[in-house]
């Protein structure tokens, strides 16, 4: 097979038996030993849509390179034959090298190798910014919100919403926050309309800004790595609820936000997980905090259920091992 004949095909699009060049991220590498006492390496290559785990035996031409040079988190160009076997998908590697800057011309894009939001991060960020500018009418509050988004833009573009619970993929935090904001705007508009007699009136600005910022502390709680979001020491010891309020308070030193408005905004962040055992130091004691809590909770739980449903499996129900703690119904096997 001549070199020209081998095209570059995404790993997740390779067909059973197909040989091709492909870019892949080395997501895991661990040493093992056969019952006969011989060492081998188990490696996992992946792109955003597929993950392939297989052994590199001692007699493989790649054994030494694997042990010495292959690095978890690095990207590689492989020529390999893809096969779907009863041990799952496998790669028979013919050639392998680390990617080079030149590979970008050939289409290499590291962001295509990790699971990530189906939405474009820049566009999501843009919409969020637009909401912060247009929908938060209180000028200092809007400016504070815009500043926080802008300051943490680079982190927000890639961060997941959690290591495992929900939206656990690159861009997941942004996708989640945007969705929460949309929920929150709907709720603020609806309930503001339904209860015009409220005293004080429902503070739509606070609902919107609170929704945008409720998880902002996650930019310090976690950091993205090749294997997903990992918690920082600050994240473990302090947590995103407190870290997020810090960011808001720090930003507030540069914007003349009304004292009560700031207090209510901080309270939204502090209480957005509602119960102590769910992580909230205080319960939602304002109408606005209640709305943000629900706008958030429904989005997290719904995505968790869908992620469970999206996992492979043929039964009428998913497994019960998901963050919701119970099975999700796929549908009757023999529908009527």
Site for a copy of itself in 209-248 (CB under 8 A): 233-234, 236-239, 241-242, 245-246
d(CA 210, CA 298): 16
The residue among 54 and 82 lying less far from a copy of itself, judged by its C-beta, is 54
**Binding span for a copy of itself by CB under 8 A among 14-22, 75-83, 214-222, 296-304:** 296-304
Examine residue 305 and tell whether it contacts a copy of itself (CB under 8 A).
Answer: yes
Site for a copy of itself in 77-116 (CB under 8 A): 86-87
Q: Are strands 88-98 and 39-47 parallel, antiparallel or unpaired?
A: unpaired
**Binding span for a copy of itself by CB under 8 A among 7-15, 137-145, 216-224, 325-333:** 325-333
Return the sign of the alpha-carbon dihedral for residues 275, 280, 285, 286. negative
Judged by CB under 8 A, the number of residues near a copy of itself is 72
Distance of CA 80 to the CA centre of its chain: 29
**Binding span for a copy of itself by CB under 8 A among 43-51, 126-134, 142-150, 197-205:** 197-205
Examine residue 314 and tell whether it contacts a copy of itself (CB under 8 A).
Answer: no
Distances (CA, A) of 247 to 27, 116, 177: 33, 26, 16
The residue among 89 and 283 lying less far from a copy of itself, judged by its C-beta, is 283
**Binding span for a copy of itself by CB under 8 A among 9-17, 211-219, 220-228, 272-280:** 272-280
Examine residue 31 and tell whether it contacts a copy of itself (CB under 8 A).
Answer: yes
d(CA 84, CA 207): 50
Tell the smallest beta-carbon distance from residue 230 to a copy of itself (Å). Answer: 10
Tell the smallest beta-carbon distance from residue 115 to a copy of itself (Å). Answer: 14
The residue among 92 and 104 lying less far from a copy of itself, judged by its C-beta, is 92
Tell the smallest beta-carbon distance from residue 80 to a copy of itself (Å). Answer: 18
d(CA 57, CA 49): 26
């Amino acid at each position: 097979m001549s070199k020209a004949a081998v095209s570059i095909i995404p790993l997740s699009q390779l067909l059973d038996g197909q040989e091709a060049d492909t870019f892949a991220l080395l997501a895991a590498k661990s040493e093992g030993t056969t019952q006969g006492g011989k060492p081998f390496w188990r490696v996992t290559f992946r792109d955003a849509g597929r993950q392939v785990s297989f052994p590199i035996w001692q007699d493989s031409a790649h054994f030494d390179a694997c042990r010495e040079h292959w690095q978890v988190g690095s990207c590689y160009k492989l020529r390999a034959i893809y096969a779907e076997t009863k041990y799952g998908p496998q790669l028979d590697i013919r050639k392998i090298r680390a990617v080079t800057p030149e590979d970008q011309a050939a289409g290499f894009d590291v962001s295509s190798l990790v699971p990530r939001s189906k939405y474009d991060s820049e566009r999501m960020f843009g919409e969020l910014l637009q909401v912060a500018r247009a929908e938060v009418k209180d000028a200092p509050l809007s400016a504070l919100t815009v500043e926080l988004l802008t300051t943490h833009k680079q982190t927000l573009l890639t961060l997941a919403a959690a290591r495992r619970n929900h939206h656990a993929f690159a861009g997941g935090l942004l996708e989640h926050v945007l969705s929460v904001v949309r929920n929150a705007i709907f709720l603020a508009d609806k309930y503001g309309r339904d209860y015009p007699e409220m005293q004080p009136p429902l503070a739509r600005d606070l609902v919107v800004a609170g929704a945008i910022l409720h998880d902002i502390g996650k930019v310090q709680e976690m950091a993205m790595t090749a294997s997903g979001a990992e918690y920082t020491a600050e994240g473990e010891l302090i947590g995103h609820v407190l870290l997020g309020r810090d960011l808001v308070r720090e930003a507030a030193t540069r914007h003349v936000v009304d004292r009560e408005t700031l207090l209510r905004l901080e309270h939204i962040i502090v209480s957005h997980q509602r119960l102590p055992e769910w992580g909230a130091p205080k319960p939602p004691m304002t109408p606005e905090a209640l709305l943000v809590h629900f706008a958030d909770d429904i989005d997290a739980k719904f995505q968790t259920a869908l992620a469970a449903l999206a996992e492979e499996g043929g039964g009428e129900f998913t497994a019960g091992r998901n963050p919701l703690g119970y099975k999700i119904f796929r549908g009757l096997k023999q529908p009527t």
